[in-house]
């Protein structure tokens, strides 16, 4: 049983990591909570669903389409709402309010188009999973874990070795200084939205294939992703991954002992304890600008 819980925990962890790392990319560049990220997760999943099932595209095209549309929606939010707001000097709370508004609008548009019932992207028929040390794991779950790992390594490489990635890191540590040293911060911000939103799309599609696509899925997974980011540290991809794994495992084991309906509340109770007692603690999310 323990093995099974570990496997399930790893599957949820990979979804949280994908969402969390995307969220962190945007947060670290612009320092505000982009709650509409949840709507981006959901959009990716619904677009892939629509392309695959009703429209009959092959699965690779549906997945690619979902990821591209997610990235476009994220960039659209930045171009239409966030960038004009920032140029007016709006503080982070106002950006957060705008993101809440965008989340509500997109979520309701999707629920109008697709309905509130759970949809599922069925690639293969449901069958018993492979046996791995006594635990059952379906091929899709293996793909989820693998994708999560690959995306993590990919994003880490991107941040460390490419010019854009380095610019993102510079912006995260000191925005004014990066402007002064000639970094085009508006372009880097757009890049952060593109990468972050594409990752969100991937996680949405994986959830859709493994479990179900619902109008609430985005917020559920984003909240877990945000917890992983706050606990693990916004700057450190490895930290986010570790926190996501712990969170995924804790949820599975907690669900086994307490019942699955309390998963979410328990995760949030942990978050509140963290925010209250270790507001800077493990995360360093608050350290903000380097002090002069």
Partner 1 sequence: MEYFLHILILVAIYVILATSLNLIAGYAGMLSIAHAALYGMGAYVAALMALKLHSPFLVNLLFAVLLTGGLGLLLGIPALRVRDDYFVVVTFGFQIIMFNVLNNWISFTGGPMGLAGVPQPSIFGWSISSRIDFLILGFCLGCLSIVICWRLGRSPFGRVLKALREDEVFAMAAGKNVAASKLVVFLTAASLAATAGVMYAYYVSFIDPTSFGFTESVLIISIVIVGGAGNLWGSVLGAVLLISLPELLRFVGLPGVFAANVRQILYGALLILFVMWRPQGLLGEYRFQKAEAKE
Residues in contact with partner 1 by CB under 8 A are 32-33, 81, 84-85, 89-94, 96-98, 100-105, 107-109, 111-112, 219, 223, 226, 230, 261-262, 264-265, 268-269, 271-272, 275-276, 279, 286
Shorter beta-carbon distance to partner 1: residue 148 or 218: 218
Long-range Cβ contacts of 58-67 (<8 Å, 24+ apart): 59/123, 62/121, 63/205, 66/201, 66/204, 66/205, 67/198, 67/201, 67/202, 67/205
Closest separation between CB of residue 105 and partner 1, Å? 4
Shortest Cβ 112–partner 1 spacing (Å): 5
Distance of alpha carbon 115 from alpha carbon 134, whole angstroms: 38
- Residue 167: closest CA among 288, 159, 214, 19: 159
Tokens for 219? 């917020």
Measured from the CB atom, is 65 or 74 closer to partner 1?
74
What interhelical angle do 2-30 and 185-210 show, nearest 10? 160
Which of 146, 258 has the CB closer to partner 1? 258
Between 92 and 181, name the residue whose CB sits nearer to partner 1. Answer: 92
Contact 221, 18 (CB under 8 A): no
- CA–CA dist 12, 42 (Å, integer): 16
Q: Name the minimum Å distance from CB 48 to partner 1.
A: 22
In the bound complex, what is the minimum distance in angstroms from residue 259's beta carbon to partner 1? 8
Token output for 274: 């963290």
Please report how close the Cβ of residue 209 comes to partner 1 at its closest, in angstroms. Answer: 26
| Closest to partner 1 by CB, 61 or 100 | 100
């Amino acid at each position: 049983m323990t093995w099974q819980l570990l496997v399930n925990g790893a599957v949820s962890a990979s979804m949280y990591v994908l969402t969390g790392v995307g969220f962190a990319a945007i947060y670290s560049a612009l320092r505000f909570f982009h709650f509409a990220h949840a709507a981006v997760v959901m959009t990716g999943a619904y677009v892939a669903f629509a392309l695959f099932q009703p429209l009959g595209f092959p699965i690779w095209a549906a997945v690619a389409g979902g990821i591209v549309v997610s990235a476009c929606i994220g960039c659209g939010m930045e171009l239409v709402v966030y960038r004009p707001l920032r140029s007016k000097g709006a503080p982070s709370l106002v950006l957060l309010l705008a993101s809440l508004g965008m989340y509500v609008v997109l979520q309701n548009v999707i629920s109008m188009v697709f309905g509130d019932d759970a949809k599922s992207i069925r690639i293969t028929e449901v069958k018993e999973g492979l046996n791995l040390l006594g635990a059952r794991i379906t091929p899709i779950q293996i793909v989820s874990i693998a994708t999560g790992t690959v995306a993590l390594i990919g994003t880490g490489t991107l941040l460390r070795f490419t010019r854009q990635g380095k610019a993102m890191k510079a912006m995260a540590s000191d925005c004014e200084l990066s402007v002064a040293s000639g970094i085009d911060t508006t372009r880097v911000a757009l890049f952060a939205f593109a990468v972050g939103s594409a990752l969100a799309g991937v996680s949405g599609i994986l959830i859709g294939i493994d479990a179900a696509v619902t109008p609430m899925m985005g917020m559920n997974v984003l909240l877990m992703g945000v917890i992983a980011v706050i606990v693990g540290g916004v700057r450190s991809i490895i930290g986010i991954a570790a926190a996501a794994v712990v969170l995924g495992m804790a949820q599975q084991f907690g669900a086994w002992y307490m019942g699955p309906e309390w998963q979410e509340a328990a995760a949030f109770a942990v978050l509140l304890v963290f925010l209250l007692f270790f507001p800077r603690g493990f995360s360093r999310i608050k350290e903000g600008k380097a002090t002069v």
